[in-house]
Amino acid sequence: MTSPPQPGWYPDQRQPQLVRWWDGQAWTDHTGPAGQAPPRHDAEPIELDIEPAHDPERVRAQVAEGTRGRARGGAGGGTVFTEPVLVVNQRAKLIEMSSEYGVFDQQGTQLGAVVQVGQSTLKKVVRLLGSADQFMTHRFEIRDAGHSTLLKVVRPAKVFKSRFLVTRGDDAPVGEIVQENVFGRIRFAFTSGGEKIGGIQAENWRAWNFAVEDANGTEVARISKTWGGFARAAFTTADNYVVEIPSPLRDPLASMVVAAALTIDTALKQDSD
């Protein structure tokens, strides 16, 4: 298995006239004109990583922990929509102004990434200096291994409950993920076309593990938070999740489940820090 490329400027696959910054784990929003001297990437506040960007052994250990041996190790279709197990790992940084996540299969192969987009310099400074950014609008893109956008997730500004708007890469609407309560075991509802198509139920008030259900209340997936190690727990807010999807799901539920791991981390874990 080959290691991911080193951080650097690479040709943008969607816009050949540009180069895009690869941070070692995911494609970022930093671009510059191809054929010219690359722009300075250190012009913004520096975000300091505390661990390697990609470790397949650690991913496999997470799968064993998160599924408690339920994962059979069978191959899926090689995409975020077809794999029976997804591992969503937040990039661990000592200084963090934007959230980034790697998405892997159960063998540790990277399938894509989730990146926070539309972050102004002012918003990054607000995040660095305090926690007020939790009340602001957040925008994320779920991208495949070729950094093409598969889904977009927007969480509008909120006070107590979170709401997420899920669209496809071309902005076609998929549905909404709506937080239904604040106290007790947290619940989210999936809606599409004005109808409820499923939801998420926390197993307990600490909201570490979740059951994902369809419109009939049948469990179709599970989301489990896994231990990230001492360095992550002691020095960062980075979280890791394992998503089990035993049987293929149809859209729009399939897309909502893929977006759900990000929804949970942004709504509950990031906002609590």
Helix extents (H) in the chain: 56-67, 121-129, 230-235, 253-264
More confident residue, 265 or 185: 185
Counting beta carbons within 10 angstroms of the beta carbon of residue 133, is it exposed (0 to 12), middle (13 to 18) or buried (19 or more)?
buried
> 198: which strand partners?
190, 214
More confident residue, 34 or 193: 193
For the residues of 138-149, what is the DSSP string, one character each? EEEEEEETT--E
Average pLDDT over residues 251-262: 89
Class of domain 56-272 (CATH, top level): mainly beta
Average pLDDT over residues 243-268: 84
Measured between alpha carbons, how far is 85 from 246 in angstroms, rounded to an integer? 8
More confident residue, 271 or 67: 67
Measured between alpha carbons, how far is 134 from 158 in angstroms, rounded to an integer? 8
**In this structure, what token pair is assigned to residue 68?**
């408690």
Measured between alpha carbons, how far is 87 from 228 in angstroms, rounded to an integer? 12
What number of other Cβ atoms are within 10 A of residue 57's Cβ? 8
- pLDDT > 60? residue 64: yes
- pLDDT > 50? residue 50: no
- In this prediction, residue 96 carries a pLDDT of 47
Strand-pair category, 18-22 with 27-33: antiparallel
**In this structure, what token pair is assigned to residue 127?**
């995040």
- In this prediction, residue 267 carries a pLDDT of 63
**In this structure, what token pair is assigned to residue 130?**
């305090």
Average pLDDT over residues 36-41: 56
Q: pLDDT of 172-227, one tens digit each?
A: 999 999 999 988 888 999 999 999 999 999 887 766 789 999 999 999 999 988 76
- In this prediction, residue 100 carries a pLDDT of 79
Under the banding of pLDDT at 50, 70 and 90, the label for residue 70 is confident
Question: CB-based contacts of 61: which residues, under 8 Å, 6+ apart?
Answer: none
**Average pLDDT, rounded, for the chain:** 76
Measured between alpha carbons, how far is 41 from 32 in angstroms, rounded to an integer? 10
More confident residue, 75 or 151: 151
Can you list the positions of beta strands (E) in the chain? 8-11, 18-22, 27-33, 85-90, 100-104, 110-117, 138-144, 149-155, 163-168, 173-179, 187-192, 195-202, 209-214, 219-226, 240-244
- In this prediction, residue 48 carries a pLDDT of 47
Average pLDDT over residues 41-47: 48
Average pLDDT over residues 83-90: 88
**Vertex 20 angle, CA 263 and 117, to 5°:** 25
CB 222 within 8 A of CB 211: yes
Measured between alpha carbons, how far is 49 from 41 in angstroms, rounded to an integer? 15
Domain ranges in the chain? 8-43, 56-272
Average pLDDT over residues 135-154: 87
Q: pLDDT of 93-127, one tens digit each?
A: 544 456 778 899 898 888 988 888 875 665 555 55
**In this structure, what token pair is assigned to residue 15?**
């816009």
Measured between alpha carbons, how far is 56 from 35 in angstroms, rounded to an integer? 35
More confident residue, 240 or 267: 240
Prior bond of 252 cis (ω within 30°) = yes
More confident residue, 54 or 39: 54
DSSP-derived letter for residue 49 is B
**In this structure, what token pair is assigned to residue 155?**
């969480």
- In this prediction, residue 125 carries a pLDDT of 53
**In this structure, what token pair is assigned to residue 246?**
């035993």
